A and B are shown apart, each in its own frame.
Chain A
Amino acid sequence: MVRKGPVERKEAIERALRDGRSHFEFRSETRRFLLSNSINIAIGIALVVAVWWVVAEVMIYTRGALFPTPPETISALWNALNGAELNGETIYYHTGSSMMRWGTGYAIALIIGIAVGISFGTLSRLYDTGMVSVYVVQMIPGLAWVPIAMLIFGLGESATVFIILMTAMPPIIINTAGGIRQVPPVYNRVALMSGKSRISLFTSVLIPAASLSIIDGMRIGLANGWRVLIAAEMVLGAMVGLGATIYDSRYSLDFVSAFICIMVICFIGLAIEKLFFAGLENAVRNRLGLDKEA
């Protein structure tokens, strides 16, 4: 049914008025939306860079601090992207090892979080007691997991992955369970009166109906995991990684490298949010029939 007419908006409106029709179609203006979206992102980034630059110049002038300025950092980033090493490894290696840790922790958080969220969402009694524990875990700040992770896993990769898992999981559980509980009762009733099995109730009704909420949880969980990854790397004695490099600048005074890593972190976060999740949400919204046509 979603057919777009070949005519521009203005002309289509004129034609519809002239012909006395109540519905009309025109060439969709996706490109214009994409453009304004990109402009918004560019302005947002420019603002942050401007404030950074002012602060850097003021610090250099008043305190004589080695505060890296945006041009200095960007040219160093260029060199790093061309293979210059920082903190003993290439930027690619640091980014790769950070993303590996984060990916592992996040993947486990997704599997456990969605499974637990679905069971909490369906079973009221489990929800009432279980959610208390989830909220307690959610209240624990990311860095507070460091001693716990050390006691269980010692120093190293497993401890880092554990911290990411524990901080990414609660919002996934909360949103999945909440989403399923908010499915309109009539959706359940239709499936029940049609004699559907429990499995088919889940796959055909509950999960699609709750999917936007589940995606929200994935989003928050992802951001939580990404933030704590940097912190966890700082403390748990990782030798490589974006967080480890930032932490090392305390001793090496290589603040430019630290700033490069901060930029990479921001860029990856922004890319995942704007490219991956925004796209995923749009696709799901479309699939759910939520983007109503005028």
Chain B
Amino acid sequence: MLASLKNVSKVFVNPRTGKGLVALNDVSIQVEQGDFLCLIGPSGCGKSTTLNLLAGFELPSEGEVLFKGKPITGPSPERGVVFQEFSLYPWMNVLQNVAFSVRSGNRSEREEIARKHLGLVGLLDFAHAMPNELSGGMKQRVAIARTLAMDPDLLLMDEPFGSLDEQTRRKLDNEVLSLWKGQGKTVVFVTHSIEEALMLGTRVVLMSASPGRINQEWKIDLPWPRDPLSPEMTALKKDIVKSLQVCSCANGASQGGFITISGSEE
């Protein structure tokens, strides 16, 4: 087992307003080496919180988050993140952005590694471009190259293509898939698109909101490239949609997933 959440709860409180939010309640997930695990669910179901816990940006309120058997105490290059928002430094060119995250070596060695990974995402020609000269899809490809260049054991992707158009997203999904196969990485991929999860994942985990919990998991051992219109895929999609409708999350999500905790309880 590479990483796991053991009975993890995460509570956010705002002492000033006296409002609290239970983002995760008693969540357990095990990530195995080589998994492509897709987390899906409505907004406010704790997908991003789960990812942030694995990254080490947040620490659990209760329970344990383990990586290679040890508790996670903070961010580390062993666990690379591709963020939802554009995260390149606008004052560095593409090559410098990628080289910034390379862990070791002198400047020219780091740039060499950065070039190699820019090549993997097909952007070697843009090494000297500034981020504001790139399209949204290209920026996210650079972000992927940057994270791969860190050579992490676990790749955490937080709706990386959420802000891109459908066409670009499909293209990048396929690129991520071939990188995952080619590099033998382990991926945790957050998305709110059932189809995207089904096209990519070896496992699809559905979370429900208010409070965030694990609802159900599907193991998918269909080969790639997958046909979204094949009978197996259609059946899976129907099954997931049904679970989504049954689960309590539908109401909670429409209320923004917020609940108030009185001061004495928390």
CB closest residue in chain A, given B83: A186
Binary interface encoding of chain B residues 57-91 relative to chain A, with 1 for a CB under 8 A from any of its CBs, else 0: 10000000000000000111101110101010111
Binary interface encoding of chain B residues 188-224 relative to chain A, with 1 for a CB under 8 A from any of its CBs, else 0: 0000000000000000000000000000000000000
Tell me whether B128 is interfacial, beta carbon within 8 Å: yes
Mark the stretch among A116-124, A142-150, A187-195 that contacts chain B. Answer: A187-195
Within 8 Å by CB of B130, from A193, A194, A289, lies: A289
Tell me whether B180 is interfacial, beta carbon within 8 Å: no
Binary interface encoding of chain A residues 171-206 relative to chain B, with 1 for a CB under 8 A from any of its CBs, else 0: 000000000000010110110111100000000110
Tell me whether A18 is interfacial, beta carbon within 8 Å: no
Q: How far is the CA of A289 from the CA of B57 in the complex (A)?
A: 28
Q: Are A193 and B132 in contact (CB under 8 A)?
A: no
Residues in B whose Cβ lies below 8 Å from that of A293: 132-133
Residues in B whose Cβ lies below 8 Å from that of A195: 75-77, 103
How far, in Å, is B154 (CB) from chain A's closest CB? 11
Residues in A whose Cβ lies below 8 Å from that of B89: 187, 190, 204-205, 208-209
Tell me whether A31 is interfacial, beta carbon within 8 Å: no
CB closest residue in chain A, given B130: A289
How far, in Å, is A230 (CB) from chain B's closest CB? 38
Interface of B, helix, strand, loop or mixed by DSSP: loop
Residues in B whose Cβ lies below 8 Å from that of A193: 55-56, 75-77, 79-81, 101, 150
Q: How far is the CA of A208 from the CA of B132 in the complex (A)?
A: 16
Q: Are A204 and B75 in contact (CB under 8 A)?
A: no
Q: Are B83 and A189 in contact (CB under 8 A)?
A: yes
How far, in Å, is A286 (CB) from chain B's closest CB? 10
Tell me whether B129 is interfacial, beta carbon within 8 Å: yes
Q: How far is the CA of A292 from the CA of B101 in the complex (A)?
A: 25
Q: Are B81 and A289 in contact (CB under 8 A)?
A: no
Q: How far is the CA of A229 from the CA of B77 in the complex (A)?
A: 52
Q: Evaluate whether A204 and B77 lie within 8 angstroms (CB atoms) in the complex, with A187-B89, A189-B83, A289-B90 already known.
A: no
Within 8 Å by CB of B128, from A1, A187, A189, A205, lies: A1
Residues in B whose Cβ lies below 8 Å from that of A63: none
Q: Are A204 and B100 in contact (CB under 8 A)?
A: yes
Tell me whether A288 is interfacial, beta carbon within 8 Å: yes
How far, in Å, is A227 (CB) from chain B's closest CB? 33
Tell me whether B131 is interfacial, beta carbon within 8 Å: yes
Q: Evaluate whether A1 and B87 lie within 8 angstroms (CB atoms) in the complex, with A193-B75, A194-B100 already known.
A: no
How far, in Å, is A166 (CB) from chain B's closest CB? 33
Q: How far is the CA of A204 from the CA of B92 in the complex (A)?
A: 10
- Tally of contact residues, A, Cβ under 8 A: 20
Residues in B whose Cβ lies below 8 Å from that of A194: 77, 100-101, 103, 150
Within 8 A of B (CB), among A269-294: 287-290, 292-293
Q: Are A186 and B87 in contact (CB under 8 A)?
A: yes
Q: How far is the CA of A187 from the CA of B81 in the complex (A)?
A: 12
Q: Are B91 and A208 in contact (CB under 8 A)?
A: yes
Q: Are B90 and A290 in contact (CB under 8 A)?
A: yes
Residues in A whose Cβ lies below 8 Å from that of B77: 193-195
Q: Are B85 and A186 in contact (CB under 8 A)?
A: yes
Q: How far is the CA of A208 from the CA of B128 in the complex (A)?
A: 19
Q: Are B90 and A288 in contact (CB under 8 A)?
A: yes
Residues in B whose Cβ lies below 8 Å from that of A192: 57, 74-75
Residues in A whose Cβ lies below 8 Å from that of B128: 1
Q: How far is the CA of A287 from the CA of B75 in the complex (A)?
A: 29
Q: How far is the CA of A120 from the CA of B55 in the complex (A)?
A: 27
CB closest residue in chain A, given B133: A1
Q: Are A289 and B83 in contact (CB under 8 A)?
A: no
Q: Are A190 and B101 in contact (CB under 8 A)?
A: yes
Residues in A whose Cβ lies below 8 Å from that of B81: 189, 193
Q: Are B130 and A190 in contact (CB under 8 A)?
A: no
Q: Are A287 and B91 in contact (CB under 8 A)?
A: yes
How far, in Å, is B187 (CB) from chain A's closest CB? 15
Q: Are B91 and A289 in contact (CB under 8 A)?
A: yes
CB closest residue in chain A, given B85: A186
Q: How far is the CA of A288 from the CA of B100 in the complex (A)?
A: 16
Residues in B whose Cβ lies below 8 Å from that of A289: 90-91, 130-132
Which are the 10 A-B pairs with shortest beta-carbon distances?
A194-B101, A289-B90, A192-B75, A195-B77, A193-B75, A289-B130, A186-B87, A288-B91, A289-B132, A208-B91
List 5 A-B pairs, Cβ < 8 Å.
A186-B83, A193-B80, A195-B103, A289-B130, A292-B132
New contact pairs (8) apart from A187-B89, A190-B87, A194-B100, CB-CB < 8 Å: A1-B128, A186-B87, A187-B87, A195-B103, A209-B91, A288-B91, A289-B131, A292-B132
